[in-house]
Amino acid sequence: MFRKYRNFLRGISVNRIGQVGVILTTTAFVGFLFFEFLRLIGVLDNAYIGLITYLFFPAMFVAGLVLMPLAWYRYRKRQGKSTRELLNERFDSVDIREGFFGSRVFLVILLLTMVNVLFIAGVGFRTMKFMDEPRFCGTACHSVMGPEWTAYRQSPHSRVKCVECHVGQGVDAVVSAKLNGLRQMALAMLSNYQRPIPTPVHQLRPSRETCEQCHWPDKFYGSRMVTFTRYGMDRNSTASYTTLQLKIDTGHKAGKGGIHWHIASDNEVRYASVGDKRENIIWVDWRRRDGSTRRFENIRLKHKVNTADYSRVRIMDCVDCHNRVTHVYEPPETAVDNKITRGMVDRTLPFVKREMLAAITADYPSDEAGLQGIRNHLFGFYRSLNAVAGARMSDQIENAVRVAQAIYKRNIHHHMRIGWNTYPNHLGHRDEGGCFRCHNPNMRDRDGKAIRHGCTLCHSILAYDEADRFQYLYKPDKKNPNYRMHLFLRDEFLHSKVQADKN
Ligand code: HEC
Ligand code: HEC
Ligand code: HEC
Ligand code: HEC
Ligand code: HEC
């Protein structure tokens, strides 16, 4: 059997080109099967070897297949003989005797072609699948995607594939994404890309085709209680609490709903913003199902903005609020607070919050300098405090250093020019951004009524930087200067009509 195949190959490879073709195809075939086998039994999961297995080998295989008939064609031309004469020359008479289904050579070629087609189809399928794997997207162009990959793996979506948000459904989406991907790979190889990678991502498909495949927009969300724990800059890093009851329901009637009102099937919210950043909003349209609309215009920008800017109109979807749902970079203070809350840092270390924050936010020229600088800062500080009393303390400092370095590694990426707060988060209202881009007193309709922006529209407030998580639920103290405010917040929470789970 093997000898027959060898004879056949010898017959086929008529000249150098033909031999090269046979070698390429055979090597690629064997190589692919070998690496695929290693991958299947779990020995390999490296993205670079994936590139060889799924892009290089298939290309080599096809190139070989193309060379073989080319070689035959050239050989025939050179020799000036007909195909029949050449076949007679290169194969045994048994092989080319016409049988019922054609000669044996013909049958072998037919069979091999069928095997090749199946092989290519199989490889193509595997290649597509491989390119859909987050590991490929996240690590094949390591330095470019490094930050996104790091943030992704610690996010709520670390088990969701990149392509499920970035490519979406449908053949056209897949094809255009693959073409775009090839272009980006080329640019990455030429080091020709922007650092940091710009957002918003215009290729992102509408969330109907991505997020909404898994999350149901009209779902009854109810409300969600969150507590933010902050630590002070004092010696004991004293804790204080902010507790919010977020009104995240969708709701259907205005005033009955909550935060997900914007994406309820009855509403469409559109807006135009200055430039490309979606930060300064010029106007907002609220369109109801019956077609009636209400427009709010930013009275601060109305007369200042060029009409050309109005062309970028966007229909609001999940990503206008959840823009950092996967690539979660933390603000430095939040990062330190969260680690202390989780008990990863010992709070008995004096000024640990203040000093960790100072260590990670200092200006360093490179990633390595940052890690070293953090260590120097913390050890330097505690040495000057003369607090390194005994081995226990130095263990604690060592630990604080490790945690601070981990925060730094996760959030700061010098080679991509990603520093603290490079990517704004629209989910709250830090620095008047996020929700306050629209929910502010300047966004007015024709009658001069602004988009509502009262503090309890989106959340009840049960504590705001207080010593107790539910401070405002206790009987308010009449002597407290904020007595009326506390009373108001308590009643708003207890008797609120818009609170979804009480409707
Ligand atoms: C749950 C959905 C989701 C998943 C999964 C996801 N992304 Fe994203 N990605 C987003 C959103 C949303 C944005 C921001 C879009 C915007 O602001 O316009 C984004 C932005 C980006 C950006 C632009 C830079 C930035 O940080 O804003 C890159 C690059 C990126 N994603 C790569 C990846 C890679 C690589 C993976 C897989 C390892 C991945 N994404 C997985 C939703 C996702
Ligand atoms: C393939 C399915 C899938 C897709 C697509 C998807 N998600 Fe998710 N999402 C999940 C899963 C799974 C979780 C985690 C649930 C959990 O931990 O309880 C999650 C969690 C979330 C959360 C809660 C986060 C938290 O802090 O707990 C939000 C918000 C969210 N997704 C928004 C989005 C948005 C916006 C998009 C589109 C850009 C999206 N998701 C796309 C599956 C998906
Ligand atoms: C692009 C503009 C825009 C952004 C950004 C925006 N909103 Fe709104 N929102 C509106 C408009 C318009 C209305 C309807 C007008 C009104 O209720 O006064 C509205 C209404 C609401 C309502 C009341 C719903 C109801 O039942 O009547 C809530 C709650 C709300 N938004 C929460 C938020 C939160 C939270 C964010 C940020 C995470 C946010 N919005 C960001 C435009 C926006
Ligand atoms: C107006 C801003 C806004 C829009 C638009 C929006 N969300 Fe949200 N969403 C929020 C806020 C605010 C929260 C609460 C965040 C928190 O818990 O910290 C939230 C919470 C969630 C959660 C977590 C719910 C839970 O029970 O914990 C999911 C899932 C979610 N959103 C999915 C979506 C999807 C999918 C879309 C698009 C169809 C969407 N959101 C559109 C603001 C928005
Ligand atoms: C349009 C909706 C909306 C309005 C109006 C609003 N908030 Fe918020 N607020 C949010 C959302 C959404 C978050 C983020 C929750 C998260 O991060 O999960 C938030 C977070 C917060 C936080 C905790 C985060 C932090 O930075 O400390 C505080 C405190 C807060 N809001 C206070 C207020 C006060 C005071 C007002 C009135 C001036 C107000 N909010 C008005 C939606 C709103």
pLDDT of residue 431: 83
Q: Which residue CA neighbors atom 19 of ligand 5 most closely?
A: 428
Distance (Å) from CA 322 to ligand 4 centroid: 7
Under 8 Å CB-to-CB from 3, ≥6 apart: which residues?
none
Kindly state if the Cβ of 160 falls inside 6 Å of ligand 1.
yes
Report which DSSP code applies to 283. E
Under 8 Å CB-to-CB from 146, ≥6 apart: which residues?
413, 415, 416
pLDDT of residue 109: 85
DSSP letters for 344-359: -S-TTSTTHHHHHHHH
C-alpha–C-alpha distance, residues 342 and 318, integer Å: 29
Rg (CA), the chain: 32
Residue 250 to residues 30, 256, 290, 402, Cα–Cα distance (Å): 56, 9, 18, 42
Q: Which residue CA neighbors atom 23 of ligand 3 most closely?
A: 258
Contacts 24+ apart (CB under 8 A), 410-414: 410/150, 410/151, 410/154, 410/330, 410/335, 411/329, 411/330, 411/332, 411/335, 412/367, 412/370, 413/146, 413/147, 413/150, 413/367, 414/365, 414/366, 414/367, 414/370
Asked if 241 and 462 count as a contact pair (C-beta separation under 8 A), the reply is no
Q: Which residue CA neighbors atom 30 of ligand 1 most closely?
A: 148
Measured from the alpha carbon of residue 216, the closest ligand is 4
Kindly state if the Cβ of 425 falls inside 6 Å of ligand 2.
no
Torsions phi, psi of 322, nearest 5?
A: -90, 50
Atom in ligand 5 nearest the alpha carbon of residue 452: 5
Q: Where are the alpha helices (DSSP H) in 287-366?
A: 318-321, 332-341, 352-361
Kindly state if the Cβ of 323 falls inside 6 Å of ligand 1.
yes
C-alpha–C-alpha distance, residues 135 and 388, integer Å: 43
User: In degrees to the nearest 10, what's the CA dihedral of 309, 300, 260, 202?
Assistant: 20
Measured from the alpha carbon of residue 318, the closest ligand is 4
* Predicted TM-score (pTM) of this structure: 0.87
Under 8 Å CB-to-CB from 386, ≥6 apart: which residues?
none
pLDDT of residue 495: 82
Q: Which residue CA neighbors atom 12 of ligand 2 most closely?
A: 157
Under 8 Å CB-to-CB from 77, ≥6 apart: which residues?
none
Distance (Å) from CA 278 to ligand 1 centroid: 17
Per-10-residue mean pLDDT for the chain, 503 residues long? 75 84 92 90 81 89 91 88 82 79 83 90 87 82 83 91 81 73 72 81 82 82 91 96 92 68 88 86 91 91 68 87 92 96 93 97 96 96 72 83 96 93 92 92 94 93 95 90 92 70 39
Kindly state if the Cβ of 325 falls inside 6 Å of ligand 5.
no
DSSP letters for 199-263: SS-TTPPPGGGTGGGTS-TTS----EEEEEEEE-SSTT--EEEEEEEE-----SSTTT--GGGGG
Q: Which residue CA neighbors atom 30 of ligand 4 most closely?
A: 215
Kindly state if the Cβ of 435 falls inside 6 Å of ligand 3.
yes
User: In degrees to the nearest 10, what's the CA dihedral of 438, 439, 441, 442?
Assistant: 0
Measured from the alpha carbon of residue 248, the closest ligand is 4
Kindly state if the Cβ of 427 falls inside 6 Å of ligand 3.
yes
The residue among 449, 372, 452 whose CA lies nearest residue 408 is 372
Atom in ligand 3 nearest the alpha carbon of residue 251: 26
Using a 6 Å CB cutoff, which residues line ligand 4? 207, 211-212, 215, 217, 221, 224, 226, 246, 248, 259-260, 262-263, 316-318, 320-322, 427
62 CB burial (10 A radius; 0-12, 13-18, 19+): middle
Asked if 367 and 361 count as a contact pair (C-beta separation under 8 A), the reply is no
In the sheet with 459-466, reading across from the earlier edge strand, the strands are 224-231, 239-246, 459-466
C-alpha–C-alpha distance, residues 462 and 244, integer Å: 6
Provide the sign of the torsion angle of the four alpha carbons 369, 375, 379, 382, taken in this order.
positive
